[in-house]
Amino acid sequence: MKRRNFLRAGAAGSLTAGAAAFGILKYPRRARAGWGSWPDDKVDALIPAERQAQNVLELFLYGGVNAFDTFYTVPSWGQGNQTFLNVFLAQTQSRFQSCGFTGELTEPFADDANGVTVHLGPWVSPLRARPDIVERMRVIVQRHDSLPHEGANPFALTGSRLGSPRLAGVGASIQRHFLERPGGLRSTPYAYILYPGVDFPTDNVKAASSVGLHPGSARPLSVVVDSNSELSNLLARAGVGDKRAQFDAAVDHYLRDYEARFRPAGKGAATRSSERSNYAFAHFARRSAQELQGILASDLFQVIGGSECGNAEPVDMPAMQARLAAALLTRQSDQPRYVQWIDGALKPHPSGGHDTHQAHVQYASMNVAHTLEELAAIINEPGEGDPNKIDLDKTMIVINTEFGRTPFLQGMDGLNHWPQGMVNVLIGGPITAAERGIYGTITEDQGFAESWVSPAENRMMVMMALGIYPFSSQTFAVGDVGGGVKDELEAATRIKEIYLGIKA
């Protein structure tokens, strides 16, 4: 074959090597609507389209954040051997003032189901300073039984326990759903995972990028936020240099030849092969590396310095991740539907991230407050209308963590892991002033959650907020939902009306 004809054939066949070749995009169940679409007999539990979030920003606070001085503070608790806020009260008051926070140490938020008035704690001050954010905040009590980071992180990130074959980050479900909708095929991602470009023990945090039983095309794009990003080097495709067109044309040719082997006698549809489909999609995406390189522009990875509570750091990783998250979520084209910001803190605790086994008040006052300050800074205030900031009418924010911290001391001034009573937070999107408040309860006597959601139910809430059906062999089952539900409709209705609080 002459070189000219070879290149012409390669260009003409690139879409075939892309869209038409992907067996992964052809499914017998709800094939016309795509994976994750709602069955007709379950749509009563679907959040109305006008109430759904257009995209989601999930802030995952790696290391475990204490509920009792952030989103579930009860100032009267903490007598006897219980710490909550009161054992640390003098130190907390001192840090609150020295860090420059103003107003009261805590602020009433809402009553829980037991009639206890829950306050927002001192380290939530950057969000408390924004009544528009608090007005659209729903605090969700959560509980599980995995104490080590290695088990708790995958559980919190995926809703499945470590070792489960269906263990997949919620980004995989989101990427797959929007990719496989009619007209949804594109080479740029629908889901991104932003990892901090600093040394920290991962403790299986990379489960956020896992795909479980989903096809390879469902994998979110993992981005390490670092000025020397390896991804930037890969996107430049320096290995093929100015021979990029010839290289892509060659791969197109050999891929078509390989495809032909899956059609007996060259007729009919190709035999299904997940590995072949995954390779075809990878090649399709690689051809558009230059487009992705434009989305992840080098200026978005430039180092930012920062400070909090008198502590200055040359690299403000939360600020860098917030900048990139906002840039992605506010794009005019190729806008993602999900960005997950894995936060390792401004000044990571020696144990890693927010894992405050010692000096809890010193690190929480600096790190939790600073990350929430950076989060608030990328959210439009009422009437601001900055196109480079997040709009809460369009974006739902999720604040998540692998577990909380104990309601009793560890050593002299630290707190241990506490999955028995923790919280997650939803802000904006389908959460309006009508849904503002608390689902679940934590008791004073031992700090245990009395009513709560599981990590699996948490992941289902994120999917449903984006209009994705959460029940399939690759995701979740009726048995993953509490309350004695009997079928998928009851389960989805419980998530929508009870957990999310959406009645209409």
The Cα 423–Cα 336 span in angstroms is: 26
* 83-124 residue pLDDT tens: 677 888 889 999 999 999 999 999 999 999 999 999 999 999
CA distance 31 to 16: 19
Spans of all domains in the chain: 32-229+296-499
Give the three-class secondary structure for 170.
helix
Residue 344: closest CA among 323, 363, 325, 329: 363
pLDDT tens per residue across span 8-43: 444 444 444 444 445 444 443 444 578 999 999 999
Q: Which residues contact 190 (CB under 8 A, 6 or more apart)?
A: 174, 175, 178, 179, 184, 336, 337, 338
How sure is the predictor about 81, in pLDDT bands with cuts at 50, 70 and 90?
Answer: low
Residues belonging to the chain: 504
- Does 328 have pLDDT greater than 90? yes
Grouping H, G, I as helix, E, B as strand and the rest as coil, residue 235 is helix
Reported pTM: 0.91
Asked if residues 464 and 495 have their Cβ atoms less than 8 Å apart, the reply is: yes
Nearest alpha-carbon partner for 158 in 472, 457, 493 = 457
* Among candidate residues 212, 184, 191, 229, the one with its CA nearest the CA of residue 58: 191
CA 136 to chain centre: 19
d(CA 352, CA 168): 24
Residue 231 tokens read as 């991804």
Domain spanning 32-229+296-499: which CATH class is it, in words?
alpha beta
CA 218 to chain centre: 15
pLDDT tens string 264-282 = 766 777 777 777 777 788 7
pLDDT band at residue 80 under the 50/70/90 scheme: low
d(CA 182, CA 101): 50
Would you give the distance in Å from CA 368 to the centre of its chain? Answer: 17
pLDDT at 82 (0 to 100): 64
Both tokens assigned to 211: 């795909």
Q: At what angle do helices 3-13 and 244-260 cross, to 10 degrees?
A: 70
